[in-house]
């Protein structure tokens, strides 16, 4: 099938059976790939009420029709499952080279099912597919294992590996690849750990067919040319995502000391410019990317190498825990990667624990003698280790900030910064109503990448609560995640500002099917509604209350910084939701109306 | 004409290798590319790229004279004349002369077409005249 590897690989870990099935043509037509395949299989095959860490949950790993081809940034891989962190939908997007390798091995998706009786890794070398004993790797760090596997099998093999946190089923464990790229959010690494799969190793040597070779080469080359001609290429390549750190600090969007403020007095020490000068050694790109945002760094203080830190990590493991030293942030990043936990959730939940400590809710007795104050980098390093091992206070934090705050009580829920149980990523939203709404309604919890609306807030007036903002969020939620469906990166469009219509002839030349962006966004809307239905199916009380942000953003304005005294009133939070539900065709409790589902052509088999 | 590389600018993205396999074989398959990127991670965190210098050592040993020179001075393999003997492979000082019978029924190498240069976003690759060889 043009543009596709052509097969779905099912791996039954309970029985050890591996089986390849042809990728259904109608699945590719209606859901395209990536996140689309993920939600389709999740709804269809994982039974209602499945334990996220039990044998019924499945880990669905998918490339897309743009992956592995002559497409700027065609290196995105989607990891979908029921989320141990939230009990709802998880879809984590991973860059690097893994997704391209899947295609060359003739695969569009891998579906991990059941639970293996012993630790294994999945070995794929074209058509040679085996589950192999992983006892020599179990217990080791994710990058240590990746290096062992590269040494054993060679550089042509791509590896996705969990760390000890995944093995211990920490609820925000991630999956590591290419020494610093991750499927990061929602606990996908815990699901892989629950199945006792330490790693997936893949090499493919097959060619991926396309519908019209010459048109494809021409359209692919045009996309690369547009990226190379873009004005922002040089600065973007130099700083990557860290380019926004200084801007966020200036506009009061940099999460500081558990989101209590949006500007950080020590921000200069963690700016992208500081990082570039002090620690960056190499620009590191994902597959096919002409504008590599990955920065590979070497710290002097810790004598360590790490990919990153990215902006989100700087926000959460820097200013949000009060650290102003980029080397310390990089070291915390490295520890998270090696142990296998998401830096965003880790920085968020540690900051919550720090606030609890500074308020006297936790004492040294609770922390095991650690002075858990904002700014203490050694305390952060230690907490990462304790979370990984579920040791002492780490056991509480390993469940995520929602559950931890519910267990502790004492008003700590009010400064537990999450939506639906997922820790909020690195944008302060006291006074940025579109971004606040984006977090509230994001399909996995408080994650930024579905609708990065904060620049729109600044553009149109950050405190405004108007239908235009809601419409913008909805449009972004349809359009941006479609890149995760297509298996490519959105940053060429977002950061370099290339014309998105360049993708239209490219996708057509690859798949042989003409689609406009309007067509593609319709698929995005269908997927968005399906993910909503999944949340409702899995949680009997799912509805409006699940979309509420952390009370801090409507009750507890910053006492310092450029957004001092600013917040969003609770009535405006509710107004945002009212407008959002109405524009989406959902009822006042935030559930899709039957006519909306009908209009979107959602098949009954998926919603029954 | 030959290909030049500054490895310190390479970000390891492999766009060049996709473009190369398309140019040489008309296929999406970087395993059939004519240049090599060696990642060295986690330490020291650099990429080393190997490209053809168009030195012609491969052509000099080819028993069937399948490796020919074009008007710009670049050597290319005439696929129909290659007998997969592999004589060229050990002669290549950059290890970018390829024979992998499981992938292709011919040897292959860089033709200095420049498609890799066109997609390289970090300007790590460029085409230039071959350096003058000292007498």
Give A21-76 pLDDT, tens digit per residue. Answer: 999 999 999 999 999 999 999 999 999 999 999 999 999 999 999 999 999 999 99
Average pLDDT, chain B: 96
Does the beta carbon of A452 lie under 8 angstroms from any beta carbon of chain B? Answer: no
Which tens digits make up the pLDDT trace of A90-142?
999 999 999 999 999 999 999 999 999 999 999 999 999 999 999 999 999 99
How confident is the model at residue B130, as a pLDDT? 87
CA dihedral A240, A245, A246, A248 (to 10 degrees): 130
**At CA A179, angle to CA A176 and CA A183, rounded to 5?**
25
| A316-354 tens-digit pLDDT | 999 999 999 999 999 999 999 999 999 999 999 999 999
Residue B135 has pLDDT above 80, yes or no: no
- pLDDT tens, residue by residue, A245-257: 999 999 999 999 9
Q: Name which of A68, A284, A297 is nearest B11 (Cβ-Cβ).
A: A284
pLDDT at position B94: 97
Q: Which of B28, B32, B44 sits opposite A68 (nearest CB)?
A: B28
Q: Which fold has domain A7-203?
A: Aldehyde Ferredoxin Oxidoreductase;  A, domain 1 (3.60.9)
- Decide if pLDDT at A271 tops 90: yes
Q: What is the pLDDT of residue A449?
A: 92
In chain A, domain spans: 7-203, 233-419, 433-497+516-607
Contact B11 A283 (CB under 8 A): yes
Q: To the nearest 10°, the Cα dihedral for A354, A307, A69, B25?
A: -170
Percent of chain A with pLDDT over 70: 100
Name every residue whose Cβ is closer than 8 Å to that of residue A180 and which is 6 or more positions away in sequence.
Answer: A143, A284, A294, A296, A306, A307, A308, A337
Of B11, B28, B41, the CB nearest to A292: B11
Residue A12 pLDDT greater than 70, yes or no: yes
- The pLDDT assigned to B131 comes to 75
Chain A interface, best mutation among B11, B21, B100, by max A CB count within 10 A: B11
In contact, A270 and A375? CB cutoff 8 Å: no
Contacts of B9 in chain A (CB under 8 A): 283
- Are A288 and B42 an interchain contact pair (Cβ–Cβ within 8 Å)? no
Please answer yes or no on whether A287 and B14 come within 8 Å at the CB atom. yes
pLDDT attached to residue A605: 79
CATH classification code of A433-497+516-607:
1.10.599.10
Note the pLDDT tens digit of each residue in A170-181. Answer: 999 999 999 999
A433-497+516-607 and A233-419 share a CATH fold: no
pLDDT exceeds cutoff 50 at B89: yes
DSSP of A562-599: TTTT----HHHHHHHHHHHHHHHTB-TTS-B-HHHHHH
pLDDT of residue B132: 56
pLDDT at A482 over 90: yes
The CATH number of A233-419 is: 1.10.569.10
Q: How many CB pairs under 8 A join A and B?
A: 112
> In B, which residues are within 8 Å of A75 by CB distance?
13
- Percent with pLDDT over 90 in chain A: 98
Identify the structural domains of chain B with CATH numbers, from first to last: 2-124 (3.30.70.20)
């Amino acid at each position: 099938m043009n543009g596709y590897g052509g097969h779905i690989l099912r791996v039954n870990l309970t029985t050890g059976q591996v089986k390849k099935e042809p990728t259904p043509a109608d699945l590719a037509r209606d859901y395209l790939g990536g996140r689309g395949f993920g939600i389709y299989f999740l709804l269809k095959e994982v039974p209602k009420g499945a334990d996220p860490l039990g044998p019924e949950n499945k880990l669905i790993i998918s490339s897309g029709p743009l992956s592995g081809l002559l497409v700027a940034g065609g290196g995105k891989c989607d990891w979908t499952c029921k989320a141990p962190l939230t009990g709802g939908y998880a879809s984590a997007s991973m860059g690097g080279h893994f997704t391209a390798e899947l295609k060359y091995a003739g695969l569009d998706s891998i579906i991990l099912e059941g639970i293996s009786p012993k630790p294994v890794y999945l070995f794929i070398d074209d058509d040679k597919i085996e589950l192999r004993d992983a006892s020599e790797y179990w217990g080791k760090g994710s990058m240590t294992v990746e290096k062992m596997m590269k040494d054993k099998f060679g550089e042509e093999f791509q590896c996705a590996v969990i760390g000890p946190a995944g093995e211990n089923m920490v609820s925000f464990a991630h999956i590591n690849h290419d020494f610093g790229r991750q499927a990061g959010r929602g606990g996908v690494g815990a699901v892989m750990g629950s199945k006792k799969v330490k790693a997936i190793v893949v090499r493919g040597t097959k060619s991926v067919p396309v519908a019209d070779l010459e048109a494809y080469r021409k359209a692919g080359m045009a996309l690369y040319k547009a990226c190379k001609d873009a004005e922002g290429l040089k600065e973007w390549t130099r700083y990557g995502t860290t380019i926004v750190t200084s801007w966020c600090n200036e506009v009061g969007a940099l999460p500081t000391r558990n989101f209590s403020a949006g500007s950080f007095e020590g921000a200069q020490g963690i700016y992208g410019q500081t990082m570039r000068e002090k620690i960056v050694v190499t620009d590191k790109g994902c597959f096919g990317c002409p504008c590599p945002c990955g920065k590979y760094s070497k710290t002097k203080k810790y004598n360590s190498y790490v990919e990153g830190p990215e902006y989100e990590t700087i926000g959460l493991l820097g200013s949000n825990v009060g650290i102003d030293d980029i080397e310390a942030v990089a070291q915390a990043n490295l520890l998270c990667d090696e142990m296998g936990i998401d830096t965003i959730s880790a920085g968020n939940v540690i900051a919550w624990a720090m606030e609890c400590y500074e308020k006297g809710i936790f004492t040294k007795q609770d922390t095991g003698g650690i002075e858990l104050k904002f700014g203490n980098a050694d305390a952060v390093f230690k907490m990462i280790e304790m979370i990984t091992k579920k040791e002492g206070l780490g056991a509480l934090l390993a469940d995520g900030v929602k559950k931890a705050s519910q267990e502790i009580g004492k008003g700590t829920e009010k400064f537990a910064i999450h939506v639906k149980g997922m820790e909020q990523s690195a944008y302060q939203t006291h006074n940025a109503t579109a971004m606040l709404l984006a977090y509230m309604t994001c399909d996995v919890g408080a994650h930024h990448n579905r609708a990065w609306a904060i620049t729109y807030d600044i553009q149109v007036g950050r405190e405004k609560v108007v239908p235009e903002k809601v419409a913008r969020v909805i449009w972004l939620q349809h359009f941006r995640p479609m890149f995760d469906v297509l298996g490519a990166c959105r940053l060429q469009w977002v950061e370099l500002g290339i014309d998105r219509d360049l993708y239209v002839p490219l996708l057509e030349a690859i798949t042989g099917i003409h689609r406009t962006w309007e067509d593609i966004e319709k698929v995005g809307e269908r997927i968005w509604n399906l993910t909503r239905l999944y949340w409702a199916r899995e949680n009997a009380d799912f509805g409006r209350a699940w979309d509420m942000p952390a009370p801090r953003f409507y009750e507890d304005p910053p006492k310092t910084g450029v957004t001092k005294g600013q917040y969003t009133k609770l009535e405006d939070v509710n107004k945002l939701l009212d407008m959002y539900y109405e524009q989406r065709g959902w009822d006042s409790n935030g559930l899709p109306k039957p006519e909306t589902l009908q209009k979107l052509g959602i098949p009954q088999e998926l919603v029954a | 004409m030959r290909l030049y590389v500054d490895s310190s600018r390479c970000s390891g993205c492999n766009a060049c290798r996709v473009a190369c396999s398309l140019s040489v074989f008309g296929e999406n398959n970087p395993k059939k590319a004519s240049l090599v990127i060696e990642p060295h991670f986690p330490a020291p965190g650099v990429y080393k790229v190997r490209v053809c210098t168009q030195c012609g050592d491969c052509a000099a040993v080819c028993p069937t004279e399948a490796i020919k020179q074009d008007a710009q001075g670049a050597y290319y393999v005439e696929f129909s004349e290659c007998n997969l003997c592999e004589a060229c492979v050990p002669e290549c000082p950059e290890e970018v002369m390829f024979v992998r019978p499981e992938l292709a029924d011919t040897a292959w190498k860089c033709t200095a077409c420049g498609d890799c240069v066109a997609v390289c976003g970090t300007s790590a690759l460029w085409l230039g005249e071959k350096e003058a060889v000292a007498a």
